[in-house]
Amino acid sequence: MRLEKVLLIDDSDIDNMVNKRVVEKAGLSSHIVVKNSAELAYNYLKELTVDGQEQIPDVIFLDIRMPEIDGFGFLEMFDSLPEVIHKQTKIVMLSSSIDAEDYKKAMDNRFVKQFLNKPLQKEAVINLVNV
C-alpha cells in the first residue's frame, strides 16, 4: 500500500495531531491532509475529482466514532465517489472500540483494508506499506 498522500478523518483534534505526527515520523508520506468530520472529508474528495486528481490520497485513516456522520456513514458516502478514487485510495479504520461488530462491519466493507486500534502506532503505519 502506498502512503505518499494521506487523509486523516477524526473529530478529535488531539487524535488528528497525534496521528499526523505518527505518520510523519514513519517517514512515508509527503502530503497529509486532516479533516475533522466525515462531511468535510467527503467534500474534499469530491473536489479532488474535479480539480486535483494528483492529490487523491493513497490511504485514508478513518475514525469510526464521530458525531453526525460516523465512519460507517462516511464509507456509504465514499461509495458514491468516482471510480478513480476507489482505485487509488485504501481505507484504514481507526477505533478505540473493542466491539467485535465494529471490526466485522469494517472488514466486510470492500474499501477497508485494515482495522487498527487507536492510538495509531509508527510500526503499524510502516507495516501498511507491505499490505
Confidence of residue 128 (pLDDT cuts 50, 70, 90): confident
| Average pLDDT in the chain | 92
Q: Copy the grid coordinates of residue 98.
A: 473493542
Q: Copy the grid coordinates of residue 97.
A: 472500540
Q: What pLDDT does 94 receive?
A: 95
Alpha-carbon distance of 52 to 47, in angstroms, equals: 8
Residue 75's domain comprises 5-128
pLDDT for 131 beyond 70: no
C-alpha 45, offset from chain centre: 12
Q: What pLDDT does 13 receive?
A: 95
Contact between 22 and 121 under an 8 Å Cβ cutoff? The reply is yes
Q: Copy the grid coordinates of residue 20.
A: 499526523
- As for how many domains the chain has, the answer is 1
Q: Copy the grid coordinates of residue 82.
A: 468516482
The CATH number linked to 26 is 3.40.50.2300
pLDDT for 2 beyond 80: no
Q: What pLDDT does 1 receive?
A: 72
Confidence of residue 50 (pLDDT cuts 50, 70, 90): confident
